Each structure stands twice: as structure tokens, then as C-alpha cells.
Structure 1
Amino acid sequence: MSADQPAGSQPDSQRPDSQQPVRRALFIATILTGSFLLFLVQPMVARMALPRLGGAPNVWNSAMLVYQALLLAGYAYAHNLGQMPIRRAAKLHLILLVVAAVTLPVALVALPPPAPGWEVLWVPALFAVTIGPVFFLVSAQAPLMQRWFSLHPRAGEPWALYAASNVGSFVGLVAYPLLAEPLLSIHAQSLGWSLGYAALIVLVVLSARARWRVEAAQPETAPSVEDEAEAIGWPRIFLWLGLSAVPSGLMLSTTTHLTTDVFAMPLLWVIPLGLYLLSFVVAFSDRRALAGTITLAAPAVMLLAGGTAMISRSSGTMMLAMGSVALLFVVAVVLHARMYELRPPASKLTLFYLVMSAGGALGGVFTALIAPVVFDWVWEHPLLVIAAALLMPLRPLEDLRRLPGLDPGMARLAAYVLFAVAAFLCWQLAQYAIMPDPPVTRLYFTTGIVLIGLVLVPWRPLFAGLLVLLMLAQGGMETVYGSGQGNRTRSYFGIYTVRDYDTLKLRSLAHGTTLHGQQSTDKALECAPMTYYGASSGVGIVMGQAQKLYGPGARIGVVGLGTGTLAAYYQPGERWRFYEIDPAVLRLSQNGTFTYLSHCAHNPQVAIGDARLELAKAPPSSFDVLAIDAFSSDAIPLHLLTDEAVGVYLRALSPRGVLLIHISNRYIGLQPVLSAIARHRGLTAVVRDDNPQDRTLLTPSAWVLLTRDPAQLQTLSQLRPDAPWTKLAKPGAQVWTDDHASILPYIRWNNMMRQP
């Protein structure tokens, strides 16, 4: 007897259809479980792929694109099942769930590595073949279970169950970095997910059994998709597509924009996706008060936070980061709430979710595939913000058109005058946007513009136009100028900005918020090492003494090219080899933008590809000195810092060789990580913290030295007594491995609120 069946009542199998228990809790549990598994497996597979793919933001965007495509396929599958009689649909679905279980536990498929430049297609293919079958079927749970739930004559509206689905998704997403990754190895995570998948099959069986005898009021021949679309109307279909595509694309563009130009901090990718999921909880709730309040506040948020969408100055603060994620949440809630208000009858539920999923996939395709090829910067981000302003319902706090004694023509004229005043204020603001002071003046101008913008809400074109002007005034003109001058290069792995400082005779290369090197444009100083690579830095000390340590034929390897600054230490007779994953970076050294390789080292070898994979192919003892300098902004190349990765480096080093690892980072303390690996492998390990006085040409840096031969360190100390090395911090609790590593224990939380 079930918990919701009164004592003394008939068994379910003997009761009339209308008296069957609704079992709402069962369907909610099934939906929650499926969504939890869906968003737990996403970061899990991305984490599995780190040793092959690294941590570039577009890797996560590629993963999201695959998940959105599989979600679309799953929703199409659910739509087709929803047209079948319940018994036939349940049998087919359960058979496929069981068959897909043969691909478990989840493990990365061994695809051959991609050719340089083909990562944009290879990465999605890797994710698709690894997780495709089970992800496809699990993704169907939310719409399919809602459809089955609605078959009961007393079930009521099923839409709130979609909010429950996104609660499960959010919990799964957050649980991974906070619980699963720190506590469990990849292998244990995969096994645990497989057990969850088995539990889901049981819940689907119970859900099917709960509707086994309920006869849905369906015609014998289910209407086709085309018939349903025609009944709803194609304009409505296209509006659904737009309302779902913009938040999806904005979620990915916010992630890229934040990690590239605003605030590249650890775990930041979780926040946009989590807020995107929570937006469905608010938008699809039976209680509409919160969604209505957010819709009312949306124009102000759009102007305040959306007005910063073109900033590319790499000078972001936590305030800008918070504004960006707040904008994403508000836009997603408002557009998804409008979708909810345009929802069809429950009989067309699966078609509604199919179109919504198609829109999500379109947003992903635009952001992850098209934008990196078409744009030189994250232009997709402001474009999606503008699209949101054109789609969102604009509800004015006070409508100028309804003021007593003001006819519509005069109200429109007043709106144009106010727009002209706001445009003048934007022009004034642009004069101050590039200045550090005075911030109060910028605040006054911004406040005035926003207040006028709120009055212009009834006139959507004027409101959207003012938003564009505000974007341009708050840094957009500088961004447009940079694109016009060809100062940026965008590839699958990031956005690189080249800047010339004529008064200092310097040219710099920045990747997001991180300086990747600079070179003097003065021919007399073009081979002077700068930034993190000065003569007193850890790497500068070793490179400068390489011939005294290993003779005139010293073999030098460098992982990470950047501007090629380390080539400044090249001495005749030495053999150098660089490893760089991004061909776009190499082109900057080949086309004359930076000349360290061609003028200072006479064009040493450069291997294109993932350094860890390339080094694994190198003959043993290939290098005497190997420097690892492959950071992408403040993102951690975790796959290059595991015990297995260090094993690859040591194999490539000669027995007396020296391994140098660059660990300068604002948000993560990596000394305990390398200290644990050094203890595990019996290596001598020290760190050189360099704080140069000249901050114009040189940058503070931290380089860790690892070696199997302590005598090398003693020799270095004798050669450079003015630049001491110190012991590493206490080893971490565990050794990072490909199977188990988490940055969570090493985050410098007190640095999060500080300006980069």
C-alpha cells in the first residue's frame, strides 16, 4: 500500500483512472534526480578532460555547447515519447536507459589529438562521444516526467515541476566543486554517478507504474510537430526561440567576459551557470510576485550593469563582476518569465520545451562556435545584452505618456529631448571613463543617464539606444578603437591584446587580466628580459647561469611562449625548444609584433600542441632546464601541475636537470601543491620570490625550482648569492593527481575582494 493511499481503499490496480493517486512527490523526486545527475556529470567530464584540454574558458563553452545540443536531442526525444501511449513510451524509454548503462562508468574516450586549429570541433566531439548516450536520455527526464504527470485528470498544471528540475540542476552544479571534487577521485565520482543513474531508472519505473492505468485523453493518432506548430503559430515559436537563446548565450558570454576582462577568479564559471538555472526556478514558479518585482527592476539593472558590457580595460573589480552576474540573472528571469507567460496548454508541453531547448542550443552555437571565429573580442556579450533590452518586457515606474495634460505628441517630443540630454551626458562621461579620477564625477554622470533612461522605458528604441551610448561611454569607445586598430587576436584559447606605450617605448601582450610579457621597441633594448623574467627572477637566475651549470651545449625547454621573452637568455651553442598550444601566440612572434625569437635567439624550435602530450613524446633526458610557464590569465593549468605531469617533466629532464614552474597567482597559493609532489617524489624544492624595485619593466614573480640533484641548487646559490631561494610552504594534505585534485583548499579568499 502506498503512503498516499488511505487504509481500507482499493488497490491501485482496481481503482478507476480518476481515483488513482496523483503521486506528485514521486514525479518531483524523479525530475530532481535526473537534473541533479545531469549537472553533476557536466563538470565531472570537463574535469576528466583537463589533462588533454587545459583550462581555457572556451573549453567550458565547448562542453556547454555539447550539453545544450544533447539537451535539445533529449527534449526532441521526450516530445516524441510524449505523443505515444504511456505504456509503449515507458517500455521504450526504460529499454534505452538500460542499454545506455553499458557505457558506464563514465570515462573519457581515447580520441586521437586534434590538429592545431581544429580544437573548436574536436573538443565538442570528445565530449559528445564520452557522455552522449546517457546524457541524451537523462536530459529527457524533466519534460517527459512533466508530460506523464499531466496525464492524470487531477494533476493540475505541471509547469512548477520544471522549477523543481532546475533546483536539482543547481544543487548538482554546486555540489561538484564544493563536495565531489574535493572529496572524491574522478574514478569514485564516476562510480557514484553510475549508482545515481541506477536509482534514476528505478524512479522512472515507479513513475511509469504510477501512470500505467491512467488513460490520457489523446486521439488515436497524435498530431505532428508541424500541426502543433501551426496551431500555436510560427511567430510565437520564433519568439520562444529568441527568449531562450539570449539568456543561454549571455550565460556563456558572461563567463568568457568575466574570466577574460573583468575578474578571472577560481570557480567563477559556476556562478553564471548556477544563476541561469535558478532563473528558471523564479520564472516558472506558481507564485509570480518575485518574477514581477525583478521585471520591474530590470531596466535599472540593464542600464547600471549592462552599461559596463564593453569594458575591456582589464581593470575589473568585484563590483563589476557582481554587476555582470546580477545582469545575467535579471535578464534570464525576465526573459524566461515572459516565456512562461506565453506557455501553451499542457498538451503541448513537450513542444514548448523542445523549442526552448533549441533556443538554448542556438545561443550556445553563437557564443561558442560563431563568435570566436567572427569577433576579435567578446563582442557577443554586449550584442546579447542589447538583444535582451529589445526582448524584455519594459514596465515603467512612471509613464510620461500618462501624465495629466500631456498629449502623446508632446510626451514623445519630451522623450527625444531627454534622449539628447542623456547622449550629451554620455559624451561627457566618456571623457572621464579613461581617467582614474575623479570617480565621483563619473558617478554623477552615470546616475543622471540612468534616471533619464528609466523615464525613456516606454520608448524601447530610445531606451536601447541609450544603453548602447552608455556602453560606449564607459569603455566601449576604447574597445572599438582597439578592434579598429587590429590590436587584438582571438583564438580558441583566448583573447590577446597588444598595446604600445610610445612614451615608455614598450609593447605589451595581455591575455585578459594577465600581462603575458612585454618588449622594448628601442632596438638597443629589444633583447632585455622584462616582466616575470628579469635577471633576478627564479627563471632568470637559472637561464642566466645555464652554461655554467651544463656547459655551452645546454638544452633548454620552455612550456608557454607568450612574447618569447625567455629567448632573451639564449647564448650561442645552446639548444632551445618552446612548447605553445595556441598558433595565434606563435604568429605574434613570427610576424614581427614581438622579436625575441627572431632577433635574440635566432628562431629556436617551437612545437605547437599541448605541452604535456608533446613532452611525453620527447626522448628521455632531452633537456637540462625545463621551464613551465603556461598560465591562462589567473586560471590554473591544473593538468600541468599534477603528479603525473611532473613525472612527464622529470622523464624529459636529464638526471641533473632543473625544473622551474611559474606559480605567480593572485587567487591560489600553489606552494603546498608542489611541496607535496616534491616530497612524494623525493625532489629538492625551493622557491624564488622576486620583488623588483622597477615595476615599469619588471613584475613580481614566484618561481619554484625542483631537481633530483641538490648540488645544482648549491651551485646556483654560489653563482648568485644576491638572489636567495627559500623553502617551500608546508606540503598540502594530498598530492594532486589526474584522478584527484581540487583548488578549493588553496584559494586565497582574502584576495577575492581586492582589485586585480
Structure 2
Amino acid sequence: MNDEVAQQVVPRTRYHALFVVAILTGSFLLFLVQPMVARMALPRLGGAPAVWNSAMLVYQALLLGGYAYAHWLGRVPVRMQAGIHLAVLAVAAMWLPIGLTAMELPADAEPAFWVPWLFGASIGPLFFAISAQAPLLQRWYSVASGGRDPYALYAASNVGSFGGLIAYPLLVEPGLALRGQSLLWTIGYALVFLLVAGCATLLPRRVGGEPHVAHHSPAPGAGRVLHWVLLAFVPSGLMLATTTFLTTDIVAMPMLWVLPLGLYLLSFSFAFREGEALPAALTRIAPVLLLMFGSVLIAGDQQLAYVNALIGLLLLFLVAVALHSCMYRLRPAPDRLTGFYLAMSVGGALGGVFSGLIAPIVFDWTYEYPLLILAAGMLMPQAFLFDPIARLWRGSAQLLRIKTLAATLAIAVPLYLGLFNPGGLLGPMHEQVAFVGIAAIGLFSVGRRIPYLVALAGGLFLFGGYRAIETSLSGDRTRSYFGVYTVTDMPRERRLAHGTTLHGIQLKGARSRLPTTYYVPGSGVGQAMLAAPQLYGPAARIGVVGLGTGTLACYARPGQHWRFYEIDPAMVDLSRDSGKFSFLRQCAPQAEIIVGDARLRLAQTLPASLDLLALDAFSSDAVPMHLMTTEAFTTYARVLAPDGLLLVHISNRFLALSPVVAAAAARGGWHAARLVYTPSAPEKRDEAAISDWIALSRDPATLARLTGGQWQPLTPQRSFTPWTDDYASVVPVMRALNPSLADD
């Protein structure tokens, strides 16, 4: 750099903090807007996963666009870059305050088309402008500092992203209604504009080597770019695969999706930092822990559900740190920075598309998880654990091939014994004993890629992999965007599991018409269904939100009119079309089934067209929040007759939902009573389950005719704020965060 340019370089104490704050603030806003806008869209588009998946595609497309725009800006001088970007920020400000556009959507709006259109029109320019911040400001930082390495600032970007992600469910959503959230984001956007303008003033008037189209470092080859893409692809895909795996096969816990994404973002802060000691240490142990626990996790042992969840999160973090650290070590010179980040965003987007959109269509189980575990083992750096092991692997190329082949073939022995256990040689715990042998060979092979991968694949196949393949080949499992459904035939009953959560039971033979689990005659909904003929006559009009196995259909009586609302077409196939379960076919073959989001479909239903409506849409403890707002209860009141009954199922391991329903009832003028049903001693546990139901009616006389005995009046909590389309938070009703709700 010549003297004139050197004199224009700003002292570090001035520029460093400003660039860090600007990058952090922009990333904070970027991850704050994602859940905010999705929350705004719920009442208008429903809660189908297609909505969330389409929204994810919009975010990734806009992020790619922002990174490509930052890369393109590298063609012009930095002062001109600053002017162009400030102009883009100013134009995007025309979309403030942030919110959904007022377009009218068709009644049968297809999420795959309308969600990208609605989100793009609502936040597209703002998201695009903010998404370019991290790579663009890092490039400016390098110029303003006289060529200092800017990559460490990416850690600040991901700290900001993590902060925005965690702040929304824990602070912003519980504390502010949507209008307040929109105002907060607008203020943040104005702050970002000022910070970017401040960074622009620190750029030198002239930089040696301009125009910036002249790169000083050699261009990376196609192989290096592909390597970057793959190193970004696997952690991104594994993040979504871990979320899916944990919530369908380990434990269905609300807000669990925040943890994998948060750890994924934090991994960049560990990997893109000055000083390699910590990421190097984590990278060194990653292959070991991947081998020891990656295969154990897919076994899905429900007795250790929370331990397995922690293991899954730990593996995700270590894999992400290892691969992102490898990417950091392969980073180009600062003048190639924006192209590097563009390749990274391409890999991240492809990983998201693979796990979020392609895998649920192609696979009938969460096969993407073990596949990505294998890909991680293939890509992550490896080193021999101890010097004696390294010496054993030394020798000529031919000798190394012989040793590699021997280690690979040796894995077949414990794998065979673990799978088939001939003559009971390994005893009742043959899988665990065989895994010890596989793991020992794998640990000995860390540092030699091929035998290590064979050992990793052997463990995955032994623990759960072969059983998953057997079930897939039997045709007893199906998958949709809502989860994995497995049908299990037993001598006296047939079961449906959603992931590893029991979803329904149908008895066989003469008892096949009997309602089971949460819907037995003594439960709240069972009592309501049995009382329907006395309350509404022989032609009662009954609606059910959530089809499941169709168990409630066996309360149907001749002359009644039944209607089911089901969001997942896969459930319609299981309960009616494929013949897996026969409740519908035996008890209510003429029942109408309406596929789609229940709230949207009920909004299209004629007023006073139902006498009884059962709300049972909760899937594996996940709460469809938009079905529990006061506006949703207004929809239910419109659809029900003036003396109609609403039954709400609130059984949940993680959330105490009675305050939500009580608050909505008080605001909507409902009268409410609650029944927590516990099966009596003669009832088998696998046929009847503890259930928690709330009955509501705007006619107190109707409610009084149903309730009594075990039913208890439901009173609202004065301190609880009702859920609305503008404000709702699960934090106040989470049992883990509110010990007083543990027994509610």
C-alpha cells in the first residue's frame, strides 16, 4: 500500500468496534424477523408444515440473493459500494413498518405458491438488504484496516444471529404484541442504517489497485469451491435433520427447534475466530464422539429420551465446529471474501432443501440423519489418537492397503454376530457387545478414512439402521411433512406411532369398534359424544378437528352428520384409504373429511352448522398456536349453534394449556368445565390413557346437562394474558419454566 493510502487507514480503536456492532445488529435483525413474520402469517395461511417449508425457501433464496449482491458489489470501488448499499437500504425502508401485505388470498391458497409470494412481497426487500450486511461489511473492514483479516468478524455475525433467534421466543414474543414487535424491528433497522453509514465514513477515499474487479489473489479452482459447498451443506442439513429426528423419534418438546439452530450458529463463532486452539481441540474429538454416539442415537431409546436429545445436540455442535473450522482454514484472501460466503450460502441452502423438503418426500423415515452423519465422518479432519496407533499405520502404500482391507473386513465379524447372534453366542445384549467390537476397530482407525467410515456405517446399521430398513420394506411406515407414522400389528391390537409417540390403538376382533386411549367413554370427549343424542337429538351435527386413526368415529349414531378436519393427507390414507385402521369404515363410512388447516376451513363453513366440535389437533405435544387464540375461538363460536358444545383436548407433557383456554373462554363469553380422566383399575393401560379435556358452551344450561361429578369449573387466571393473533407466547405455560404449573 502506498503512503497516500496508508495515511487514510483508520486507527483500529475507531473502526473495529463500529464494524462489529454493525454486523452484529444486522444479523440480530435478520434472525428476529424470521419467526416474527411466520407468526404473523399463521392466521392467514394456517399451520401446515408446507407454510414453514415455503417460508424457509424464501429466507434461503433471499439470503443467497443478498450474498450474491454483496459479491457483485465487489466489482466497484468501496466508496461507490457504500453509496449503492445505503441507497438499497433507503429504498427497502419503504416496506417499513414490517408486516404482511394486505393482499387477499384465495380460499384454497396453495402454500407452495402463495407463501413465497406473500413473504417476498412483505419482507423481501428488507431481508435482502440486511442479509448482505455480514459479507459486505467484512470486506469494508479489510479495506478500512489496511488489509487485516476480516473473517473473525463472521463470529460477531453469528453471535447476533443467535441472539435474535433466542430473543424472539424468550423476550420479544412474551413481552410485545406483533405491532410492538414490528415497531421494535423498525427502530433496529434505522439503527443499522446509521451504523452502516458510520462504517462507510471510515472507508478510505482511494484504495490501491482499484477498480476492485482486479483481484490480487489467485481465483479458487472448481474443486475448492465444491469443497466449500460440501462443508457448508452437511452442517446445515444436519441441523434440520437433528431437529426432525429429535422431535419425531426422541422427544417432541416445544421450542426444541431453537436449540439445534442456535448451536449451528454458535459453531461459526467458535470456528471463525482468531486462535485455533479451541476449534482444533473440538475437531480432534469430533470423530471419536461421532463414532461412539452417532449410531447409539438412532436407536431411539425412550427411557433415555432426554439424554439422547443432549447427545444429538452435542454431535451437531461438534460436527458443525469441525466442518466450519475446516472451511475457515481453507478460506481465500480477503479480496475473494464475498465469493467464499456466496459458496457457503449455496451449500447452506442446499442442505436446508435436502433435509427440509426433499427428505420428507423421498424417505419414509429420517434416513437423512444417518446419511449426514456418514457424510460428516467423510468430510471432517482426522488425526490418529495416539502415536503408537500412528506408528502401526505406517508403511509402504501396498502395506497400508493391506492394513486398511484387514481393518475393514474385521468389522464384518462383530456386525454379523450383533445382527444374528448365532447360538446366543453374545448373550441377550448381543447388539451392545457387538458394538463394542466395532467401536474398538473404529477408534483404532481414526486417522484412516475408509475403515473409520466402515465402522461408523456398521454402528449405524447395527443400532436401528437395519430395523428401519426392514420396516420400510414391510410397507408399515409412511412419512409426510408432519412426521413419521409407523403401524405395528400385535396379536390383539394395531398401533399407530408418530415418531416414537403412541398416536392411536385399535383393538382386533369383536372389540374393534371400541374407542381407546384418550377417547374412551369415561373421558371428557367420550362423555360428550355419548350425551350428543340427548342434547341435540338423533340428527346431531358433529365436527372433529384432527382425524388421527378415526377413533372418535365409533361414537357415531345413525342419522348423525359427522365431519372431520385433517391437515395431513397421510392420516386420511392411514385411517380410511389404505384400510390400516377401520374405525371410519366400520362406524362412520359416510363421514365427510375436509383436508387442510382446520381454522381456515372452519372459516369457510356456514354459521351454526355444527352442534358439537371436538378440537384434538395437537400432534405429539406440539401446539398449533393459531388454533388457541381468541380469534380462533370466535371462529368456533360462529360455526357452532347457540347451544353448541366445544371440547378441547389439552393433554400435554410440557405445556399447561388450561390457562390459555380459560382466558379465551372468559373473553369470548363461554362457560367452561374441565375433566382430567384417569383410567380405573380394570382398564388396561394400553387401551385407556389419562386425558385432560375442557368442555365449553355459550349456553350454561347445555354445559350443566353434560358436566357434573368429576367435572370441575374452569376459572381464568387474572395474571394470564389471553392468546390472540397479535400476541401469544408459550413461555408462561411451560411447565419446566413455571414449577407452579407442574401439577396443572
Is residue 17 of structure 1 aligned with residue 8 of structure 2?
yes
Q: Secondary structure at the match of 2:219?
A: helix
- Separation in structure 2 between the aligned mates of residue 102 and residue 48 of structure 1, nearest angstrom: 19
2:543 counterpart of 1:550? no
Please state whether the residue corresponding to 1:158 is helix, strand or coil: coil
Say whether 1:695 aligns with 2:685.
yes
Deviation at 1:14, TM superposition (A): 12
Q: Is the 8 A contact 1:513 1:633 kept in 2?
A: no
Matches within 5 A, 1:456-605: 456-501=445-490, 503-504=491-492, 506-522=493-509, 524-588=510-574, 589-605=576-592
Please give the alpha-carbon distance, in whole angstroms, between the structure 2 residues aligned to 1:415 and 1:316.
35
Shift of the alpha carbon at 1:260? 1.1
What are the Cα deviations for residues 7-31 of structure 1, in whole angstroms up to 9, with x where unaligned? xxxxxx9994246666111111110
* 1:613 aligned residue: 600
Superposed, 1:274-293 pairs within 5 Å as 274-293=262-281
Change in 2 beyond 3 A, CA 1:751/1:526: farther
Question: Is 1:371 matched with 2:364?
Answer: no
The 5 Å alignment of 1:208-219 reads 208-211=200-203, 213-219=204-210
CA distance 1:247–1:200, change in 2 (3 Å): same
Q: How does 1:78-477 map to 2 (within 5 A)?
A: 78-109=70-101, 110=103, 112=105, 115=108, 118-120=110-112, 122-152=114-144, 154-211=146-203, 213-220=204-211, 222-223=213-214, 231-308=219-296, 310-311=298-299, 317-398=305-386, 402-403=390-391, 407=395, 413=402, 416-430=405-419, 445-477=434-466
Q: 1:237 is matched by which residue type in structure 2?
A: V
Q: 1:440 to 1:154 in 2, by over 3 A?
A: farther
Q: How far apart, in 1, do the equivalents of 2:687 and 2:621 lie?
A: 21
Q: How many angstroms apart in 2 are the aligned matches of 1:94 and 1:31?
A: 15
Distance 2:394 2:223 in 1: 35
- Cα separation, 2, equivalents of 1:337 and 1:463: 21
1:338–1:717 CA distance, 2 compared to 1 (3 A): closer
Q: Work out the CA distance in 2 between the residues paired with 1:166 and 1:153.
A: 21
For residues 440 and 310 of structure 1, the distance between their equivalents in structure 2, rounded to whole angstroms, comes to 17
SS in structure 2 opposite 1:38? helix
Q: Is this contact kept in 2: 1:283–1:291, CA < 8 A? A: yes
| Alignment-mate amino acid for residue 698 of structure 2 | R
Corresponding letter in the other structure for 1:585? M
Does the 8 Å CA contact 2:10/2:202 hold for their aligned counterparts? no
Tell me how far apart the structure 2 counterparts of residues 625 and 561 of structure 1 sit (CA, whole Å). 15
Match for 1:725 among 711, 714, 717?
Answer: 711
- Is this contact kept in 1: 2:518–2:689, CA < 8 A? yes
2:224 is paired with a residue of what secondary structure?
A: helix
Give the CA deviation at 1:591: 2.5
Correspondent of 1:716 among 698, 706, 717: 706
Q: Of 31, 34, 39, which residue of structure 2 is paired with 1:47?
A: 39
Inter-CA distance 747–447: structure 2 relative to 1 (3 Å threshold): farther
In the alignment, the residues of structure 2 paired with residue 245 and residue 41 of structure 1 have an alpha-carbon distance, to the nearest angstrom, of 23
1:271 maps to amino acid: L
| Distance in 1 of aligned mates of 2:534 and 2:54 | 47
Structure 1 pair 223–670 and aligned structure 2 pair: CA distance change class (3 A): same
Given that residues 435 and 462 in structure 2 are in contact (C-alpha distance below 8 angstroms), is that contact kept between their aligned partners in structure 1? no
Q: Deviations over 1:300-330 (max 9, x none)?
A: 1111232145446766611111111111111
SS in 2 for 1:497: strand
- SS of the residue corresponding to residue 144 of structure 2 reads coil
- The 2-side partners of 1:322 and 1:747 are apart by 19
3-state DSSP of counterpart to 2:543? strand
* Higher RCO (Cα < 8 Å, 6 or more apart): 1
Q: Distance in 2 between matches of 1:105 and 1:450?
A: 56
1:495 Cα offset (Å): 2.3
1:206-257 deviation digits (Å, cap 9, x = unpaired): 111111x342233437159xx98x8211110100010011111111111111
User: Using the alignment, how far apart are the partners of 2:233 and 2:735 within structure 1?
Assistant: 36
Structure 2 unmatched ranges of 5 or more: none
Q: Cα–Cα, structure 1 residues 751 and 59, in superposed 2: closer, same or farther, change >3 Å?
A: farther
- Report the secondary structure of 1:664's partner residue: coil
CA contact 2:144–2:202 (8 Å) conserved in 1: no
**What per-residue deviation string (whole Å, max 9, x for no partner) do you get for residues 56-87 of structure 1?**
66654443332222111101100111221122
Matched residue type, 1:65: L
Give the partner amino acid of 2:384: P
8 Å contact from structure 1 (residues 537, 690) kept in 2: yes
Change (3 A) 1:303 1:54: farther
> What is aligned with 1:4?
none
Q: Does 1:30 find its partner at 2:18?
A: no
Aligned residue type for 1:201: F
Separation of aligned partners in 1, 2:130 and 2:226 = 27
Bigger shift: residues 437-446 or 23-32: 437-446
Inter-CA distance 489–237: structure 2 relative to 1 (3 Å threshold): same
Distance 1:329 1:53 in 2: 33
Alignment of 1:637 onto 2:630: no
In structure 2, what is the equivalent of residue 707 of structure 1?
697
Deviation at 1:52, TM superposition (A): 4.2
Alpha-carbon shift at residue 542 of structure 1 (Å): 0.5
- Once the two structures are superposed, residues 165-190 of structure 1 have per-residue CA deviations (whole angstroms, 9 ceiling, x without a partner) of 11111111111111001111111111
Classify the secondary structure of the residue corresponding to 1:317: helix
Separation in 1, partners of 2:468, 2:702: 48
Deviation at 1:447, TM superposition (A): 4.3
Query: For 2:587 and 2:698, how far apart are their aligned partners in 1?
Result: 31
TM-score where L is the length of structure 1: 0.90
Q: Residues 412, 476 of structure 1: CA spacing in aligned structure 2 closer, same or farther, 3 A cutoff?
A: same
Equivalent-residue separation in structure 2 for 1:120 and 1:421 (angstroms): 49
Greater alpha carbon shift after TM alignment, 36-45 vs 513-522: 513-522
The superposition leaves residues 105-159 of structure 1 with CA deviations (integer Å, 9 ceiling, x where unpaired) of 222244625858x545544444333322111110100000011111135351111
What amino acid does structure 2 have at the position aligned with 1:175?
A
Distance, in Å, in 2 between the alignment partners of 1:113 and 1:301 is 51
* Alignment of 1:666 onto 2:642: no
SS of the counterpart of 1:403? helix
Go from structure 1 to structure 2 and tell me whether the alpha carbon gap of 1:154 and 1:200 turns closer, same or farther (over 3 Å shift).
same
Q: For 1:468 and 1:123, locate their aligned partners in 2 and report how far apart those are by CA, in whole Å.
A: 39
Deviation of the 1:595 alpha carbon? 1.9
Tell whether the 8 Å contact from 1:422 to 1:466 is kept in structure 2 after alignment. yes
Shift of 1:746: 1.1
Q: Is the 8 A contact 2:15 2:144 kept in 1?
A: no
In structure 1, what is the Cα distance between the partners aligned to 2:304 and 2:363? 21
Identity of aligned residues (%): 49
